Structure 1
Amino acid sequence: MFYKPCLGKRIAITLQILFMEIQEIVSKQKEFFKTQQTKNIRFRKMYLEKLRDLIVENENLLYEAIDKDFGKSKFDTFTTEISFILNDIKYYLKNLSSFSKPKKVSTNLVNQFGKSRIHSEPLGNILVIGAWNYPYQLSLSPIIAALAAGNCCILKPSEIAENTMKIMVKIINENFPPEYLYAYEGGIDETTELLKLKFNKIFFTGSTKVGKIVYKAAAENLTPVTLELGGKSPAIITKEANLEVAAKRIIWGKFINAGQTCVAPDYLLIEESVQEQFLEMLRKYIQEFRYEQNSDHYTRIINQKNFERLIKLINKDKIYFGGDFNAENLYIEPTVLANINWNDEVMQEEIFGPILPVISFTNFNITLNEILEYEKPLAAYLFTNNSEEKDNFTQKLSFGGGCINDVMMHLGNENLPFGGVGNSGIGNYHGRFGFETFSHQKAILERATWGEPNIKYPPYSEKKLSWIKRFM
């Protein structure tokens, strides 16, 4: 009868000890940042190179860990995670020096004779909270940008992908000084305690629901945040599209990682006149790509909770293709649902799984207006060769980012910002945008000490006002 209270007390004491430890590390990071060492370009590059080398050296361990978590293949892990991380490091090593130089800007007439510059300075100590669906990329890519910008960092990987969390914690904490970079292991309770501490920036990737909790906690300390969230990302296919290409690219983008991708096409809007033809093409490519139970290139659902949530979204009466599942190995067959309308249950939340609802339409512009009735998605996609449709899609819809005649590939261009808008996120990163996300743009005006006009100093007169109006 005393077991549960004693257990609860022990858990509370353990949490308190862990919290004290992370408090101390955050405090040490603040002190280390004050030494100015992280602002040194050579210092930043040295540790970016170190992280790169560690990723390469431990590549097989990273593959093993993610396979244990949800059966992700080496091919998919490299192409969607490891390659992104290595390319990020390569990009910053190449561009870090130029990004860090003060940027000259023009000086207006009022401030002559003077020079104006913008200095990018690191914010300080950063908290990055990663996501489970691409655990390496969505944890380490923000960390790389933050370190490149000259910050100290705490990484909190997602505990849902437990094995990848543990390998990242091991690699980081065994090879980096904790006052510079530290990975914190734990779940909801540990993250809740972590959010009570004051950081100079919090970067979170995950659901909108949890994003609101992070945002609220950050507000207590006036901590700026970047929130990379999600939403129901549409893919529109018109009769003007190359249907074969559209079907192939949509099937790849939807079912990679078993649909557990924040920018995957969440649902399809297909022009009615080509719907049957296109549905058959979807069936063709699902079968051709062989997303079978024992396939080494088709990922499992991450856990039982998400598996059960997804199964409830499959309306058996509207299955066009697929629908099979196996609870024992958390497998859900790629499933296409036809004759869907906006009120169906599957349309009420982000799916985040291998279920693809299809809605038909007859009027392209009316369909755009219907999308506008919902929250702004993280991504949107259009397949068409019609210039007017492309323009209307780009100008009318608001979304984080997207593609015309492809899906998800905008993520692979470091010259494009990645981030949401409205309910799908705040702020962005990738490439230069990541560097700027973790930097403060400090304005400096340097004035000459000669040629000082008296016009701005009292006593004032109508004549002075007349001249001021000309200058300003």
Structure 2
Amino acid sequence: MGSDYKAVVESVRRAFNSGKTREKSWRIEQLEALNRLLIENEILLCDALYRDLHKSRMESMGSELDFVKNDIIGALRDLDEWMLPKPARKTVPTLLDSLMVVPEPYGVVLVIGAWNYPINLTLAPLVGAISAGNTAILKPSEISPHTARAIEQLIPKYLDSECIKVIYGGIPETTSLLKQRFDYVFYTGSTAVGKIVRQSTNQFLTPCTLELGGKSPVYVDSTVDIKTTAKRLLWGKIVNVGQTCIAPDYLLCSKDVEKQLIAEFKPLLAKWFPKGLKASPDYGRIVTKNHFERLNKLVKSSSGKLALGGEQDAAELFMGISVLTDVSPKDTIMQEEIFGPILPIVNVNSAQEAVDFINEREKPLSLYLYSNDKKVQELFISRTSSGGLTINECLLQLSIESLPFGGVGNSGMGAYHGTASFETFSHNKSVLIRDLGWLSETLGSVRYPPYTSRNETVMKMLLKNRKLPSFGVLGYVGSFALGALATTWGMVSSFKDMWGA
């Protein structure tokens, strides 16, 4: 098995070394083809998502297909700008030279997708990899088998099969793949597996991005509109039945705010799901029996009280929303990421207490604050650390391509979306093109032996880290004059040494 994957990686590397993926025309062709794949196979892909996760069409389109299509539109719009070399600031000794930072593709990229958003979390990174000019091997999650098979079958029909390949399989296949030499690895999934992926990349010192999870906290204070807050918070928890890496994991609030929120949750559920959660086509299912049982154990082992919900049907992997109050921070449910429709509530009496509670734990992927108090907002911005902070909203930060998405610490490393995707899959190569003329050589002549104290003085003047004037020709001339003055002094000093003065 391992030798087969070695051959696959080598074939993709040969395709990269041919140079065709570096061409802008190839990148555009592949991005447009990926967009066609999503448009022309909308029904097939939505059906696969329904079979794997019972996702409604609206969730499938909004959080999966349309999400990737929007990424593609942004990449096609901005690709020219992204690919341009970026000029670097000059110093006095390099005024006659060219300094730039050139983005170049890493080479062969491995993208390991996740099961909860199997299209988004597999193909959105691919958009970045293609935009940056890489070849890629995709490993979709076998836990969402229907979607993984669809990706496996469709990609070769639309994209360059020499440069982009899909491998279907489970843990053995992923383990074997990670033994191969890649130039970049992009993984989305659990923190535990993320650590294994990171360790595997150490063999070849391969850079990687890890998009992990963690317990994303929510703090709600008394300054907010409770009705609006309840809607946004509850919606964030029921999307994909809580199987979202940035879903609100637990709630911090006072006892009074807790009562007001729960009072709003009940009529909201009745309004959104008039025939009940189980009968609704808009409410998903837990992905597997193992995940269902894990969530059940979290609820049963908790010291909290069930304040709302609790309906379930193991045969259908249906689990309704469960709101738990009086939860102890020592409960198992507060030690691991929930990844399901369970909302434990821990009571705190102030924003500072909430900040302290959050800072005592691992850094989350997302942190949610609902407050209209500017001082409280500033407290969370300045005194907490998380992959992202969202104030008075939930989940929607993920859809804004100008905001890099990624974790910090235990919740991940690296970021993507929009410009950040291109940057993630690009190496920024520093380029210096030195002038060979006599003037440039004169400016740099003080570096050559024999070294004298005067050489050292002139060198310090030339290399001193100063911001050069930026007011057009006059600034250029003035900066050059400064260098010329230092060089002239160095030359005169050298002549004095030669003449014994």
TM-score, normalised to structure 2's length?
A: 0.89
Pairs within 5 Å for 1:55-70: 55-70=38-53
- 2:449: which partner in 1? 458
CA contact (8 A) 1:455 1:464 kept: yes
- Which letter maps to 2:62? T
Q: Structure 1: which 5+ residue stretches go unaligned?
A: 1-15
1:430 pairs with one of 397, 417, 429: 417
Measure the CA separation in 1 of the matches of 2:279 and 2:131: 41
Deviation at 1:174, TM superposition (A): 3.2
Deviations 1:337-359 (CA, angstroms, capped at 9, x unpaired): 01112112210100000000111
2:361 pairs with one of 370, 374, 385: 374
Pairs within 5 Å for 1:21-40: 21-40=4-23
Measure the CA separation in 2 of the matches of 1:20 and 1:466: 60
- 1:347: which partner in 2? 334
- 2:475: which partner in 1? none
CA contact (8 A) 2:327 2:345 kept: yes
Deviations 1:121-180 (CA, angstroms, capped at 9, x unpaired): 010000000000000000000011101110000000000000000000000123334321
- 2:54: which partner in 1? 71
- 2:395: which partner in 1? 408
Q: Structure 2: which 5+ residue stretches go unaligned?
A: 465-501
1:170 pairs with one of 129, 153, 173: 153
1:323 pairs with one of 304, 310, 313: 310
**Which stretch has the larger CA shift, 426-435 or 28-37?**
28-37
Q: Is 1:48–2:31 an aligned residue pair? A: yes
Pairs within 5 Å for 1:80-229: 80-229=63-212
Measure the CA separation in 2 of the matches of 1:287 and 1:357: 21
Measure the CA separation in 1 of the matches of 2:389 and 2:71: 20
- 2:404: which partner in 1? 417
Measure the CA separation in 1 of the matches of 2:451 and 2:46: 73
Deviation at 1:111, TM superposition (A): 2.4
CA contact (8 A) 1:71 1:299 kept: yes
- 2:297: which partner in 1? 312
Measure the CA separation in 2 of the matches of 1:114 and 1:283: 68
Measure the CA separation in 2 of the matches of 1:271 and 1:97: 51
TM-score, normalised to structure 1's length?
A: 0.94
Measure the CA separation in 1 of the matches of 2:23 and 2:33: 16
SS of the counterpart of 2:298?
coil
- 1:13: which partner in 2? none
Measure the CA separation in 2 of the matches of 1:199 and 1:114: 35
**Which stretch has the larger CA shift, 236-245 or 327-336?**
236-245
- Which letter maps to 1:297? D
Deviation at 1:319, TM superposition (A): 0.2
Structure number, greater radius of gyration? 2
- Which letter maps to 1:218? T
- Which letter maps to 2:446? I
Measure the CA separation in 1 of the matches of 2:379 and 2:73: 37
Deviations 1:223-265 (CA, angstroms, capped at 9, x unpaired): 1110000000001100112211111000111110000000000
- Which letter maps to 1:238? D
Deviation at 1:370, TM superposition (A): 1.4
State the 4+ residue runs in structure 1 displaced beyond 6 angstroms: none
SS of the counterpart of 1:328?
helix
Deviation at 1:45, TM superposition (A): 0.3
CA contact (8 A) 1:204 1:227 kept: yes
SS of the counterpart of 2:161?
coil
What is the percent sequence identity of the aligned residues? 40
SS of the counterpart of 1:445?
strand
CA contact (8 A) 1:242 1:383 kept: no
Measure the CA separation in 2 of the matches of 1:271 and 1:445: 59
- Which letter maps to 1:434? S
**Which stretch has the larger CA shift, 313-322 or 349-358?**
313-322
Measure the CA separation in 2 of the matches of 1:87 and 1:175: 18
SS of the counterpart of 1:220?
helix
- Which letter maps to 1:149? A
Measure the CA separation in 2 of the matches of 1:286 and 1:374: 31
- Which letter maps to 2:61? F
Measure the CA separation in 1 of the matches of 2:143 and 2:328: 33
1:442 pairs with one of 429, 438, 441: 429
- 2:490: which partner in 1? none
1:299 pairs with one of 273, 279, 284: 284
Deviation at 1:112, TM superposition (A): 2.8
SS of the counterpart of 1:91?
helix
How many residue pairs are counted as aligned between the two chains? 455
Measure the CA separation in 1 of the matches of 2:453 and 2:3: 65
CA contact (8 A) 1:120 1:441 kept: yes
Measure the CA separation in 2 of the matches of 1:276 and 1:43: 57
Deviation at 1:47, TM superposition (A): 1.1
- Which letter maps to 2:281? D
- Which letter maps to 1:91? G
**Which stretch has the larger CA shift, 240-249 or 185-194?**
240-249
CA contact (8 A) 1:112 1:447 kept: no
